[in-house]
Amino acid sequence: MDQLNDEDTKLYHYENRLKTFEGWPFDEDCSCTPENMAKAGFIHTPSGNSPDIAMCFFCFKELEGWEPDDDPEKEHKSHSASCHFIALRKKVEELTVEELIKLQLERMKYSQNKRIKEEITRFEGAAKLTRANIIKSAMDEE
């Protein structure tokens, strides 16, 4: 598996994150402008009901319910203090290859943890439904 393919690394670049903020509900005269959101590592991931969902491309933390005065960097740090991207002390362009590879390995850990949590949630939902069906079947037999 190629650890650093273009698809995985394109969001390390500010410009690519910024491009995702088309239709973002906050722009000028706000703290959470598309530019500030992208600088803080966020990408815009709207849904039908929530046009202001943003997710860190690195730690996959999703935040919504943004207010015009919310500072994206502060919000990111307060909701995902362990995110390695928001904790970077230098620009991505200044990282060595070794630092970038280590960073990407951390990102992969976040990605796997997110997938595991999603699988557990799906499994728990299916188990709950199966349990309800078993109980209903037992009640019908009485």
Which tens digits make up the pLDDT trace of 48-94?
A: 888 899 999 999 999 999 999 999 999 999 999 999 999 998 888 89
Q: Measuring CA to CA, which residue among 38, 42, 40, 30 is closest to residue 70?
A: 30
Give every CB contact of residue 66 below 8 A, 6+ residues apart in sequence: 25, 26, 32, 52, 54, 75
pTM: 0.80
| pLDDT tens by residue, 81-107 | 999 999 998 888 899 999 989 999 999
Domain 6-141, CATH class in plain words: mainly alpha
Cα distance between the two ends of the chain: 55
Question: Which residue in this structure is represented by tokens 């060595």?
Answer: 96
Mean pLDDT score, 10-32: 92
